[in-house]
Amino acid sequence: MAGESMPKTSTEQTSQAVQRLMDQYTEIARLAGALAHEIKNPLSTIRLNMELLAEDIDAENEKRGPSPAQRRAAKRIDLVHRECQRLQDLLDDFLNYAKVRHLQLKPTDLNAEIDAAIEFFTPEAEEAGVEIVRYLDPDLPTVMLDAEVFRGALLNLMLNAKQAMSDGGQLVVQTSAAGDKVALVLTDTGIGMDETTAAQMFDAFFSTKPGGSGLGLPTTAKIIEAHDGRISVQSSVGRGTQFTIELPVPARLAQT
């Protein structure tokens, strides 16, 4: 009958529900980002005033020598300054995690991006006694990446692996293709973790590192998911950890 709207299909209802969730997430992310920025401004002022106060105490100490009270005050100022820096780092990590990502996806040679990330990371790995071994499939198909954003996620995984090998070790980086997927696997010989810890690795604010923000791996997971990919972890205490990233190959590329 004229004027009557057609009932919505289940696909349309699902699409609208997903869009509502995305809109809600975008608004929450915007509010969280605005709040974090509002916190950062007075925090920067506190840090600056602590630095100025420390300089005043140092100048006074040079004139008359430090008194017990001044030494106590200097320690407290240093503590406040360090805590301000910790909060600043946490806010920076949170803003990076919370922001909605609009990726600039382009056909990319994944192996080339891995090589570039390894080249950048090698000096730090060598200093820590970590050997990086590559097994990159030369016939890997092209994938759609925002190269700069993806490289940041990859470097974070390499840093995480290095930190798990405090006495040195080996990080194996592998790529392979299977059908419409490309896999990137990073395996370290670090301390590993139990099943409970591994299951929480991608939870925001969960960290096993003293002073860690617990946002590094969750941010990495968000970046992978923004590429329509997935990341998983397998680990065993004393035997190391393996992160696996799966990325889709565009249909027209997967068929060639």
Does this model's pTM top 0.85? My answer is no
Higher per-residue confidence, 58 vs 4: 58
**Residue 208 phi/psi, 5° resolution?**
-100, 0
Ranges of each domain in the chain: 10-98, 106-254
- Say if residue 154's pLDDT is above 70: yes
Q: How many CB atoms lie under 10 A from the CB of residue 15?
A: 12
Q: How many CB atoms lie under 10 A from the CB of residue 245?
A: 24
Please name which of 210, 208, 188 lies closest in space to residue 198, comparing C-alpha atoms: 208
Handedness of CA 74, 75, 80, 83 (dihedral sign): positive
Dist CA 72 CA 75 (whole Å): 5
Please name which of 144, 148, 233, 225 lies closest in space to residue 180, comparing C-alpha atoms: 144
Residue 236 tokens read as: 């065993």
Dist CA 72 CA 216 (whole Å): 35
Average pLDDT over residues 139-166: 91
The pLDDT value given to residue 170: 94
Topology alike, domains 10-98 and 106-254: no
211: helix, strand or coil: coil
CATH class belonging to 10-98: mainly alpha
The pLDDT value given to residue 256: 46
Architecture of domain 106-254: 2-Layer Sandwich (3.30)
pLDDT tens digits for 79-112? Answer: 887 888 778 777 776 766 666 567 788 999 999 9
Q: Mean pLDDT in the chain?
A: 80
The answer to whether 219 and 204 have CB atoms below 8 angstroms apart is: no
E-strand ranges in the chain read 106-108, 130-135, 143-145, 169-178, 181-188, 230-236, 240-248
Average pLDDT over residues 149-172: 91
